[in-house]
Amino acid sequence: MIRARTVTAISSVRPAALAIAAALVAGCATDGDGAGAEAGVTAFEGATVLTGDGSVIPSAVLLVQDGQFAGVGASGEVEVPDGAERVDLSGKTVMPAIVNAHIHLSSERDERIAQLQHMAYYGAGAVVSLGTETGGVGIEMRGEVIPDAARAKTADRGITMPEPGRSEAPYWVETEEEARAAVRELAERQADIVKIWVDDRGGQYDRLSPELYGAIIDEAHRHGLMVTAHVFYLEDAKGLLRAGVDVFAHGVRDLDADDELMELWAERPEVVLVPNLPGPGVALDLSWLSGTVPPDQLAEMQAASVDNPAAQESFGIQARNLARFAEAGVKISFGTDGNAAWAPHQEMEDMVRSGMTPGDVIVAATKTSAELMSWDDLGEIAAGKSADFIVLDANPLDDIANTRQIDAVYLRGTMVDREGISARMLGAGTE
């Protein structure tokens, strides 16, 4: 539920805000006339701000210092320090940077950096790579601050039954001891989450049995790790809920959710759903991708975007399920699978297409996903949080597709070089 709210930081009750306010005062220089002059503070003024928790601040003031929000509130309620740089955002809408809780990043360092920068171009501040990495690159790079790039967490290698010919990146397990050993190794490597696949890939492979995924979940919890499950079948979703799974990396895809599933979920309200909807199977205008997709590639993508009744049927199952889950109060997060940098905007539109409100979708794609992955400084525009935000030319509460109308992206208080990223992406397409 979106609600208008006036938020005052600097003098807010948040301890973090008070601490930052003290830092602002301590950092003030004084000129010869005794007037305070604040160095290193930028005031973004006049935008409508979607805070990420469902609240809206009309005509807001955002103070940014040292990569964090130092003050957030309505115009007239947050004092702009003397000497602060001022940025007029009148007519714009600001929302938190997107937190994508399900993607798959490259295991090659340079390509991974390019992907994270491409994702930042489209407004992602943080992403979670789920289980298809090799060589430990995700763990090695996890703490790095990469210019113009989203930050990333990783499941490292996921766990599944053997899938010869498909992917050898995950651990292949066939016994309970193999399953537990894989989890122990992930825990030792300090993976951020455990990813499992419970899917027969259309009958091609055996899928993890309740005994195996039960052992994985039990062992993960022993080591303080959450488990997120790729799932397809309704019956497996029920079994995973009974076994203690923490997150679903997809919704149920074979059948409409039944009462038994909803009852099981109601018993475990802490379990999070990352819907990962499929394409809706309708022709779409993709011209908004011209900033990073080379013309020839974009023309091919546009030609392939046609009405597809079979895809519409598949989308319909998952859309109805998402609507039912949302109505029941299931905690809904956000993810897109794959590694298409622009996919978050399509996913948000599809979540609205399924019946969620634009405001609830934005909360899912920001605050809820940040909380899921324990990114305490992300997901909200609030004092003490990292200044990761998107400046939009139109309000997505009016039309969720307005998230695509990006004027600027800021990560850690610094504007992302979207022009440079665009030039590199388009240039790479001509090589």
pLDDT tens string 370-380? 999 999 999 99
d(CA 63, CA 135): 41
Q: Which residue's entry shows tokens 């007037």?
A: 35
Helix ranges, 244-380 (H) = 259-267, 295-304, 309-328, 343-353, 358-363, 369-372
Per-residue DSSP letter, 373: T
Q: Which residues have C-beta within 8 Å of that of residue 345, sequence separation ≥ 6?
A: 122, 123, 288, 401, 403, 404
pTM, two decimal places = 0.91
- Encoded tokens for 343: 């996919």
Tell the burial category of 364 from Cβ atoms under 10 Å away from its Cβ (0-12, 13-18, 19+): buried
Q: What local confidence, expressed as pLDDT, does residue 167 receive? A: 84
Q: Which residues have C-beta within 8 Å of that of residue 203, sequence separation ≥ 6?
A: none
Amino acid at 330: V
Q: What local confidence, expressed as pLDDT, does residue 15 receive? A: 34
For the chain, the farthest-separated pair of C-alpha atoms sits apart, in whole angstroms, at 79
Phi and psi at residue 57, in whole multiples of 5°?
A: -115, 110
Q: Which of 330, 359, 402, 392 is nearest to 55 (CA)?
A: 359
Contact at 8 Å (CB) between 129 and 138?
yes
Tell the burial category of 88 from Cβ atoms under 10 Å away from its Cβ (0-12, 13-18, 19+): exposed
Q: What local confidence, expressed as pLDDT, does residue 104 receive? A: 98
Name the β-bridge partners of 42: 64, 85
**Start-end of CATH 3.20.20.140 domains in the chain:** 97-377
**Start-end of CATH 2.30.40 domains in the chain:** 3-91
Q: What local confidence, expressed as pLDDT, does residue 301 receive? A: 98
Q: What local confidence, expressed as pLDDT, does residue 316 receive? A: 98
Name the β-bridge partners of 152: 127
- Encoded tokens for 349: 């539109």
CA distance from start to end of the chain: 47
Contact at 8 Å (CB) between 119 and 113?
no
d(CA 128, CA 105): 9
Q: Which of 318, 314, 326 is nearest to 282 (CA)?
A: 314
Other residues' Cβ atoms within 10 Å of the Cβ of residue 418: 20
Give buried/exposed letters for 163-173 (b at 16+ CB in 10 A, else e): beeeeebbbeb
Per-residue DSSP letter, 34: S
Is domain 97-377 in CATH 3.20.20.140, yes or no?
yes
- Residue 296 has, within 13 A of its CA and on its CB side, a CA count of 7
At the second CATH level, the architecture of 3-91 is Roll (2.30)
Q: What local confidence, expressed as pLDDT, does residue 39 receive? A: 62
Other residues' Cβ atoms within 10 Å of the Cβ of residue 1: 8
Alpha carbon 24 to its chain's center: 31
Q: What local confidence, expressed as pLDDT, does residue 38 receive? A: 57
Q: Which residues of the chain have pLDDT under 50?
A: 1-37
d(CA 24, CA 42): 12
Tell the burial category of 394 from Cβ atoms under 10 Å away from its Cβ (0-12, 13-18, 19+): middle
Q: What local confidence, expressed as pLDDT, does residue 130 receive? A: 98
Q: Which residue's entry shows tokens 């900033």?
A: 291
d(CA 124, CA 365): 10
Amino acid at 24: L
Q: What local confidence, expressed as pLDDT, does residue 322 receive? A: 98
Q: What local confidence, expressed as pLDDT, does residue 100 receive? A: 98
Name the β-bridge partners of 335: none
- Encoded tokens for 130: 């789920």
What is residue 149's three-state secondary structure?
Answer: coil
Q: Which residues have C-beta within 8 Å of that of residue 62, sequence separation ≥ 6?
A: 43, 44, 45, 47, 49, 69, 71, 72, 94, 381, 387, 389
